[in-house]
Structure 1
Amino acid sequence: MSPHQHSVENASLPFWRSKTGVVLTMLVAIGAFYLVREHFSHLSPYLTYLPYLILFACPLMHIFGHGHGGRGQHVDPSETNKDEKGK
């Protein structure tokens, strides 16, 4: 094994991808759902703008998520398997 290769056993998962993190995230999401459900009348003036915020977020995610504007990197398909060919 070369010094540049990392074994899977040594790599630790981030907390949110561990079993405990997934369970905790789901419990928080369920708790937040019931909290919003019980207090919906207090939050309803703010939730009327939610569809507009989602529609506004779509073009922003499209622009910044895909790397438009010359920031995206295009790779030649023949270069993608370069490491496998060299073995």
Structure 2
Amino acid sequence: MSEHLHEHTPMTGRAKVAWIVFAVIAAFYLLTEHRAHLLGALPFLLLLACPLMHLFMHGGHRDHSHGPPDKGTDK
């Protein structure tokens, strides 16, 4: 049984430009047609950002001590 190895050639410059143009057009239509949905979800996204910022900016409240670390104890 022989295996055929298919080499994938990178896209040519024209194909890359075509995909970029397609992506820009698709993004434009998504933003213009669904602007009301996006703006309607904005307050909920702001509320969701609060607990996420609390977790990531406070480090999850792992250590409440504000003094220097104890050098005599191994954790």
TM-score range, shorter chain: 0.3 to 0.5
Query: TM-score under structure 1 normalisation?
Result: 0.34
Q: Greater Rg, structure 1 or structure 2?
A: 2
Query: TM-score under structure 2 normalisation?
Result: 0.38
